[in-house]
Amino acid sequence: MADQVATGSRSGLRSALPLLLPAYLWLTVAIFLPLSAMVFFSSMTELPLSGKAWSFTLENYATFFSERLYLTLLLASLRLGLEVTLWCVVIGFPAAYVLAKVLKGRSREAIFLLVILPFWSNGLVRIFSWAMVLREGGILDTALNAVLPFKINIDLMYSYPAVVIGLVHSYVPYMVLTCYLTLQAIDDSLIEAGRSLGASRLQMLRR
């Protein structure tokens, strides 16, 4: 029986290989080759296109790890990526859960349309839109000053929070779509069985 299962798995893999090959070739060309070129050029004293004599060296990597400036930039990039990822999870997972398990019919389609709407607009347009919201005298500043009894001055342009807001707005749809597909594949009967057995929401989420 085990031999039959193994044989069936191998035959299924062979039949699927021609379908998977174009995707893997595209990933190789689009991701692996540029990364390989970056590593190759980073280990050279001069770029080949400059016309100067060049040789392989590890001095660039030694400078990167010895200079405090580069380490500071690396830590700042990691911090930014961690914060953006955290906010995307906090915003995207509940939205995906509502889309997959709560909403039905037209309401789900309407919310799903709002999720994918940023893909239809150019990145420059999104940046300009956020600039109108976050700048001094912008939409957010004007709206809050119209409601609050005291005057405040909100100017987030060229600031760290503005970068986080822009990146979260760009990547939240990817988080929502990824979590939505995963949650949609979970059978609702498993959730009902967990509830009937007394499992908490956190336990069902973990398992």
**172 lies in a domain?**
yes
16 and 110 together in one domain: no
Looking at the structure, do residues 49 and 123 belong to the same domain, yes or no? Answer: no
Are 52 and 82 found together in one domain? no
pTM exceeding 0.75 = no
Query: Domains in the chain: how many in total?
Result: 2
At 173, the pLDDT band (50, 70, 90 cuts) reads very high
Q: For 16-45, what is the mean pLDDT?
A: 82
How would residue 83 be classed by pLDDT, with cut points 50, 70 and 90? very high
Residue 4 falls inside a structural domain: no
Q: Choose the final residue of a domain: 66, 83, 112.
A: 66
At 22 the pLDDT is 84
Residue 44: φ, ψ to 5°: -120, 150
The whole-number pLDDT of residue 4 equals 45
Instruction: Give CA–CA dist 15/26, Å, rounded.
Output: 19
Same domain for 60 and 21, yes or no, is yes
Contacts of 152 (CB under 8 A, 6+ apart): 141, 144, 145
Same domain, 75 and 42: no
Confidence grade of residue 207 (pLDDT, cut at 50, 70, 90): low
Let me know whether 88 and 38 are in one domain: no
- Residue 142 and residue 195 in one domain: yes
Give Dmax (Cα) for the chain.
77
Are 52 and 24 within one domain?
Answer: yes
Domain holding 142, by residue range, is 69-206
pLDDT at 3: 47
Q: Are residues 78 and 161 in the same domain?
A: yes
CA distance 79 to 167: 13
Q: What is the DSSP string of 24-37?
A: HHHHIIIIIHHHHH
Residue 3 domain-assigned (yes or no): no
Which residue in this structure is represented by tokens 């707005």? 169
User: Which burial class, exposed, middle or buried, applies to 172 when counting CB atoms under 10 A from its CB (0-12, 13-18, 19+)?
Assistant: buried
**Per the structure block, which two tokens stand in for 71?**
């380490």
Of 118, 99, 120, the C-alpha closest to 110 is 99
52 with 73, same domain: the answer is no
Enter the DSSP assignment of 122.
Answer: -
User: For a pLDDT cut of 90, what percent of the chain falls above it?
Assistant: 18
Which residue, among 83, 164, 79, has the nearest Cα to 130 in the 3D structure? 164
Same-domain check for residues 94 and 136: yes
> In whole numbers, what is the pLDDT of the chain averaged over residues?
82
Tell me, yes or no, whether 94 and 113 share the same domain: yes
